[in-house]
Structure formats: C-alpha cells, structure tokens
C-alpha cells in the first residue's frame, strides 16, 4: 500500500489500518498517514507478504485432495518453506550445470590426447622413412659448417706434405687434439685438415674418391695407410746423428725439438734421447758440461740446458 492509497482513506479508515499494524490510533489525518508509512518503510506489509507466499505455495506445491464431503482447505505454507524449496531447486540446477561443464571438459581432453597420439604416430612413420637428404650421407650434412670455424681450426693445424721427413702419425694426432679442444664436428675437421695438405699429400688427396674423403675418420685412416712409411732403423739413425746444433742460427730448444721429432718413430728410451741430443753439440766445452748433467728425463735435461745455453749466449755477446 502506498501513500496515494492512504490519502484516499478517511480518518476512521486510517485508524483501523493503524490498529491492524499495532500502531497508535490517536492523531490527525496527516499523523496517521505518516505513522503507517513509516511502519511500512521499516517493516513492510507483513500481511501482504504472507498472502503472496500463500499464493505461490498453492500454485507450486500440489495439495492433497480431500474428500468431497469435507469443506476444509489446506493451509498455505510459511515463507521459510517456500524459500527452502526454491534453494533446493537452484542447487539441483547448479549440480546439473556442473555435470554438463565436466562432460565438455572431458570430451575436449580426450580429443587433445587423440590428436597427440595421431601426431606421434605420424612422426614415427616419417622418421622411419629414408629421405633423399639422408641418402646423401654425412659429407653433405657436415659440409654446412661455417667457414669461420674451419678457418679457426686450420690456423692451428700445421701443413703436411707427405715427404719422408714428415711424421704422419704425429700430424693426425695434432689434428685430433685441435678438433677435441674446439669441439669441432667431423665435417669441420675434415675441411680444415684437408686444407693443410701440400705437395704429394695434396696430389694424393685430389685423386681420391668420395669413400676416402667423406669424413675425417676415413681420411685419417687412409693417410696413415699411405704415408706411415716404415723407415729402416739405420737410416733413421743417420738422419738423427747428422742433425747438429747451430748456435748462431737457432736456440738449443729449437734444435732439440726438431731432433726429438726425428727420434719419434724409433721409440727410444729417455737416456738414449739425451745422449743423441748431446752428440749434436759441436762445442767441446759445452758438450762436456751437458755430459756431466745427471738428468733422468728429457724435460729436466732441456730445462737445465736452457739455463746453461742462455748464459753462454750472453757471454759470447759481450
């Protein structure tokens, strides 16, 4: 009931309306209207709400039929029961909605798993086939190494001419060491090593087929097979003994390194190597000094001779 409806009532009707809400019935026409409106604003029309709830309960909840002889009617349910029924209905709808959402999620997950399995099966089938690129072999794939990497390797690898004085075993070991330090691929090692072949070794390489030069491992084996010549012991000793130290043109270290390279193939003991190094010293006084040294290894002998020869060179300069 609103204010406009109350203003149409008389004082007696307003007093009756106030009494219905338990309000004082004293006062004039305006005071009664203000009291009733204040009560309705704070408490609401309780009787109207009860009537509305009874109407909804009658339409939503089936009423048990009574015998025709009985004239009694079912009493309307209170508002709390109606709210419980509405809440129960909402909960059932929410539960059904959750089931639908879960079903959609499960279907989507199952579809994704099936797609992944199909993709994995396709990948396995494609990897088991041989493509034209695979048939080209390692030479074609490893030739994609960058030029800068090959140049860096080649810069640290000495030349190999394939002559009698060249030690192919020592050379291939040096190539392996450089490749290992830089973590180079077989293809990059092949390009770098082959670029350092000169003279007879280069001519041999140029006439080889693909089988011999398609990888560094294959080239290494072929080089050892061709250039690892077995020189007679007496001929190797002749070259070693003919190598003399020339103090005016080289240091003692340079002389010793070159002479030790000639001894490499003979696998001589440490004492024999030291004696051969001493035999190449042509100055008698310096040779006598070297003979008096009690070195047990080539390294210790070279270290002591380095100190002695440096002092001798300074005296000669003065």
* Domain range annotation of the chain: 3-44, 79-124, 140-227, 233-317
Q: Give yes or no for residue 11 having a pLDDT over 90.
A: no
What is the CA 302 to chain-centroid distance, rounded? 49
The average confidence (pLDDT) of the chain is: 77
Question: What pLDDT was estimated at residue 143?
Answer: 42
Position 313 confidence tier, pLDDT thresholds 50, 70, 90: low
Question: What pLDDT was estimated at residue 264?
Answer: 77
Q: Give yes or no for residue 293 having a pLDDT over 70.
A: yes
DSSP the chain: --HHHHHTS-HHHHHHHHHHTT----S-HHHHHHHHHHHHHHH--HHHHHHHHHHHHHHHSPPPP--TT----PPPPPHHHHHHHHHHHHHHHHHHHHHHHHHHHHHHHHHHHHHHHHHHHHHHHHHHSPPHHHHT-HHHHHTTS-HHHHHHHHHTS--B---TT--HHHHHHHHHHHHHHHT--HHHHHHHHHHTB-HHHHHHHHT--HHHHSSHHHHHHHHHHHH-----HHHHHHHHHH----TTTS-HHHHHHHHHHHHGGGT--HHHHHHHHHHT---HHHHHHHHH---SSHHHHHHHHHHHHHHHHHHHH-
Q: Give yes or no for residue 208 having a pLDDT over 60.
A: yes
- What 221-226 contacts at long range (C-beta under 8 Å, 24+ apart), as own/partner pairs, is 223/160, 223/168, 223/171, 223/172, 224/168, 224/169, 224/172, 226/162
Distance CA 192, CA 147 (A): 10
Question: What pLDDT was estimated at residue 92?
Answer: 83
Question: What pLDDT was estimated at residue 129?
Answer: 45
């Amino acid at each position: 009931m609103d204010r406009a409806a109350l203003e149409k009532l008389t004082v007696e009707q307003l007093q009756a309306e106030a009494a219905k809400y338990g309000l004082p019935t004293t006062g004039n026409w305006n005071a009664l209207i203000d009291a009733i409106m204040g009560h309705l604003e704070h408490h609401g029309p309780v009787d109207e709400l009860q009537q509305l709830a009874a109407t909804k309960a009658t339409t939503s909840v089936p009423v048990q039929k009574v015998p025709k002889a009985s004239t009694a009617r079912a009493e309307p349910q209170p508002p709390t029961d109606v709210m419980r029924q509405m809440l129960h209905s909402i909960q059932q709808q929410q539960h059904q909605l959750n089931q639908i959402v879960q079903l959609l999620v499960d279907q989507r997950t199952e579809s994704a798993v099936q797609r992944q399995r199909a993709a994995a099966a396709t990948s396995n089938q494609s990897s088991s086939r041989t493509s034209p690129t695979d048939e080209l072999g390692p030479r074609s794939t490893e030739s994609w190494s960058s030029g800068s990497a090959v140049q860096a390797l080649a810069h640290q690898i000495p030349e190999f001419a394939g002559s009698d004085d060249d030690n192919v075993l020592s050379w291939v070991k040096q190539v392996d060491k450089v490749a290992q330090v830089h973590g180079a691929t077989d293809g990059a090692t092949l390009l770098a090593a082959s670029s350092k072949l000169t003279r007879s070794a280069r001519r041999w390489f140029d006439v080889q087929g693909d089988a011999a030069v398609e990888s560094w491992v294959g080239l290494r084996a072929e080089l050892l097979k061709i250039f690892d010549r077995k020189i007679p012991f007496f001929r190797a000793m002749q070259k070693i003994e003919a190598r003399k130290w020339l103090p005016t043109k080289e240091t003692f270290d340079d002389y010793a390194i070159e002479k030790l390279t000639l001894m490499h193939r003979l696998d001589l003991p440490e004492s024999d190597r030291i004696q051969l190094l001493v035999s190449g010293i042509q100055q008698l006084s310096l040779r006598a000094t070297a003979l008096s040294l009690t070195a047990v290894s080539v390294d210790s002998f070279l270290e002591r001779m380095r100190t002695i020869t440096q002092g001798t060179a300074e005296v000669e300069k003065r």
